[in-house]
Structure 1
Amino acid sequence: MSRTHFHGRTLARSQALQLLFQAEQTARSVDEVLEGEYSLSEGPLDPFAIQLSRGADGMRSDLDAVIAACSTNWSISRMPSVDRNLLRVAIYEMLEMDEVAVAVSIDECVELAKAYGTDESSRFVNGLLGRVATQLEEGTDVVADARLKVGAQAREDVEEG
C-alpha cells in the first residue's frame, strides 16, 4: 500500500484500515480475516488495531449510514474502498472511544488518506468527518439521525422507481 512508516497509534490505525480493507475485499468479517492469513504493511499487529477494526466491523451498517447521511454527491458504494474504510475507522473512534479526542481521530484519518488514498481523499475525508464532528458538538445522535435520513432516502427511491 504505502511506503510511509507509521508508529504508535497511527500504525494501529493503518493496520485497522488494512484489516477492514481485506475483510471488505474478500466478503469476510474482520474476525474471519484475523483467523486466517492476512497482510500488513508493517507489523506486528497492534492490540489497538484489533480493537478498532473489530469495533468498526461490528458497527459497519451504522457507520455506513452516518457516512451516507453526511456525504454529499457520493453514494457509499461509489467511494474508493480506502476512503470508505478510513471513514469507518475514524467515525467508530469518534463515537466509541472517549479517550481519543475527535480532532485527533480526524487528523489521523486525514494523514492516512494522504498516504493510502487518492489525491482527493484527504480533502474528502476531512470534510465528511468535519460534518460528523459538528453534529457531535451539537449533541446530535449521529447514528439515529443517519438511520432516519437513510430510511427516508430509501422510501423516496422506492416511490420514484
Structure 2
Amino acid sequence: MSENVSQRHANRQALVQFLYMIEMNPPEEMTDSIRMFFESREHPRVWYGYAEELLAGILDELDSIDARIGELAKNWEFGRIARTDLAILRLGIYEILHREDVPPVVVIDEAVELSREFSTEKSNTFINGLLDRVMQEVERPNRERLF
C-alpha cells in the first residue's frame, strides 16, 4: 500500500472516529473540538489535512447527506442506524458526491473496510448496498478519477 493511500485510509479512520464522537456527544464549540481531536492523534495535525477537508465538507452538507441516507435506508428508521455506520455512510456519500478525485469504487471499498474495522459483521453489507446505490446515480466513471 502506498504512503498516500495508507495516509488517506488513516485520515478516513480518524474522521469516522471524530464523526462518531460528535454524534454521541455533540460539542459546544466545534472548532475547538476539531483542533483538540486532531492535535491528540498519532501524527502532527497537518498530516490529517485530508480528514479535516472532508470534515468541513460533510458538516456543510450534513442535512442533505442525512436526508439521502434516510431515502436510501427505506426499511430503517434513521435513528436506528448504528452511529458508527452513520459516520461511515456520511463519509462515503460525501466522497462519492463531492470528491471527483476519488473514484466511487475506491470510496465504497474504503467504507466497507472501515465498517470491518469499526462496526459489526453485517454492517459492511448494509453500507456497501447504500453506497452502491449512490454510486449508480452519479454521472461519472466509477473506476477513474476525473482529474
Instruction: Report runs of 4+ in structure 1 exceeding 6 Å deviation.
Output: 38-41
Q: Distance in 1 between matches of 2:114 and 2:101?
A: 20
Q: Distance in 1 between matches of 2:34 and 2:10?
A: 17
Give the structure-1-normalised TM-score: 0.74
In terms of mean alpha carbon deviation, does 26-35 or 42-51 score higher?
A: 26-35
Post-superposition Cα deviations, 1:80-134, rounded to whole Å, max 9, x if no partner, equal 0000010000111111111111111111000000110111110110000011111
In terms of mean alpha carbon deviation, does 110-119 or 20-29 score higher?
A: 20-29
Q: Distance in 2 between matches of 1:38 and 1:78?
A: 29
Question: Which residue in 2 is equivalent to 1:112?
Answer: 114
Is the aligned partner of 1:11 residue 2:10?
Answer: yes
Selected match of 1:127 from 129, 133, 139: 129
Q: Secondary structure at the match of 1:27?
A: coil
Amino acid in structure 1 at the alignment position of 2:34? L
Counting matched residue pairs gives: 133
Q: Provide closer, same or farther for how the CA distance between residues 23 and 12 of structure 1 changes in structure 2, counting only shifts above 3 A.
A: same
Q: Which has the larger radius of gyration?
A: 1
Amino acid in structure 2 at the alignment position of 1:12? N
Post-superposition Cα deviations, 1:58-99, rounded to whole Å, max 9, x if no partner, equal 211100011111113112210000000100001111111111
2:18–2:37 contact (8 Å) kept in structure 1: no
1:114–1:122 contact (8 Å) kept in structure 2: yes
Q: Distance in 2 between matches of 1:30 and 1:49?
A: 15
Q: Distance in 2 between matches of 1:68 and 1:42?
A: 34
Give the structure-2-normalised TM-score: 0.80
Question: Which residue in 1 is equivalent to 2:145?
Answer: none
Question: Which residue in 2 is equivalent to 1:92?
Answer: 94
Question: Which residue in 1 is equivalent to 2:56?
Answer: 54
Amino acid in structure 2 at the alignment position of 1:53? L
Question: What value does the CA root-mean-square deviation take over the aligned residues?
Answer: 2.3
Gap regions ≥5 residues in structure 1:
1-5, 139-161
In terms of mean alpha carbon deviation, does 112-121 or 31-40 score higher?
A: 31-40
2:85–2:127 contact (8 Å) kept in structure 1: yes
1:17–1:89 contact (8 Å) kept in structure 2: yes
